[in-house]
Amino acid sequence: MSRQASTSEIKDQGSETPTGPFTGQADTLVRPLQIGSVRLDHPVVLAPMAGVGNLAFRLLCREHGAAMVCSEFVSAKALVMGNRRTLAMLRIHPEEHPVSIQIFGSDPEEAAEAARRVEAAGADVVDFNMGCPVPKVLKAQAGVALMREPKRAAAILGAMVRAVSIPVTVKMRAGWDEENINVVELAQRLEDVGVAAIAVHGRTRTQGRSGQVRWDWIRAVKEAVSIPVIGNGGLFTPQDVERMLLETGCDGAMIARGALGNPWIFARTLHYLKTGELLPEPTLADRVAMARRHLRLLAELKGEKVACLQMREHASQYLKGFPGAAAARAQIVHATTIQEYDQIFDQILEQAGELAHQPTAPVVGRPDELPPSCQG
């Protein structure tokens, strides 16, 4: 692959997220994605999302067609220290493979040891976070802060590669801000130390989760490295995924917020890429049934009390945009048992009447309505 694309060449191209449908090429986009020794059946995967990507959510996305699922990010330091709650985040279900566990940190030795523990836990891939813009993470010189320290970033990823036999991947942004777009140079450096694939969120640290997703930045990385490049950012529909794959030439697409309350997006996207046909959206009845199952999976994983707390955000996403959703959300914040959730779900179905069985597109939440670390 050519390494001619540079930061200066892509900063001013101004490519916006394309609008309007592409046609005639969808059937060529569904092909296996090889990440080191791990072969994915197709190129559409679940992004790592803090506060969201626990085992229950990953299982639902995997069941509904995600080629690979990724955990919420895990502190390398806490893993090395043996923190019980952190170690519990490494739990993997046999039915969710292939699965990637994402870690974050700022020390090469800690990251290497954490990667060993991820491998021992049975993960197929270990991913490293260089995209999180949350102040607490930045203060620890981790997340996207490492994009300002390319040598340290390369040292960390190199140490991880040497420490494990499973593929090591990285997810990062375009740069710190629009004046410091260094994703191409950094991607080349990380490829040189043995990283098996790179996921690029086409926004900067200063943009956070809002603002224009620059797919030309993703395309520039694809043109500069020979390892797989996975595009991320602004993917909420099957058509979005098709456009990103065609516009950037990237090897895969990583869905984040588009999967919240909407695990069906993977199966619907795969079907669309294969056939050009859009399957009907799930009905409210479908969404409520999925929310009930999600809650029960969480309860099996973390107990009823914690599950009911963590389900609040998920339930709101499942119900968003439907009649009675605002009132239901007001009740959900006080729900402490599965029975109380079921009563709320029953009420919204009763209020919807026949509308509960009509396909309805999900309403995408504003960034400020989502978990603070949720990206993409």
Packing angle, helices 325-332 and 338-352, rounded to 10:
170
Any idea which residue has 């969404």 for tokens?
Answer: 287
Residues 6+ apart with CB under 8 A from 368: none
Q: Is residue 173 a contact partner of residue 203, using CB atoms and an 8 Å limit?
A: yes
Q: Is residue 126 a contact partner of residue 164, using CB atoms and an 8 Å limit?
A: yes
Q: What is the DSSP letter of 148?
A: G
CA distance 243 to 53: 25
Residues constituting the chain: 376
Cβ burial 182-218 (10 Å sphere, 16+ → b, else e): bbbbbbbbbbebebbbbbbbbbbbebebeeebbbbbb
Residues 6+ apart with CB under 8 A from 8: none
- Of the candidates 96, 101, 100, 98, the residue with the CA atom closest to the CA atom of residue 61: 96
User: Which residue out of 70, 132, 250, 374 is catalytically annotated?
Assistant: 132
Q: Is residue 140 a contact partner of residue 181, using CB atoms and an 8 Å limit?
A: no
Strands 229-232, 197-204: parallel, antiparallel or unpaired by DSSP?
parallel
Question: For this structure, is 374 an active site residue?
Answer: no
Torsions phi, psi of 74, nearest 5? Answer: -120, 135
Residue ranges in 172-323 assigned as alpha helix (H): 183-192, 215-224, 238-248, 265-275, 284-302, 304-319
Query: Catalytic residue positions?
Result: 132
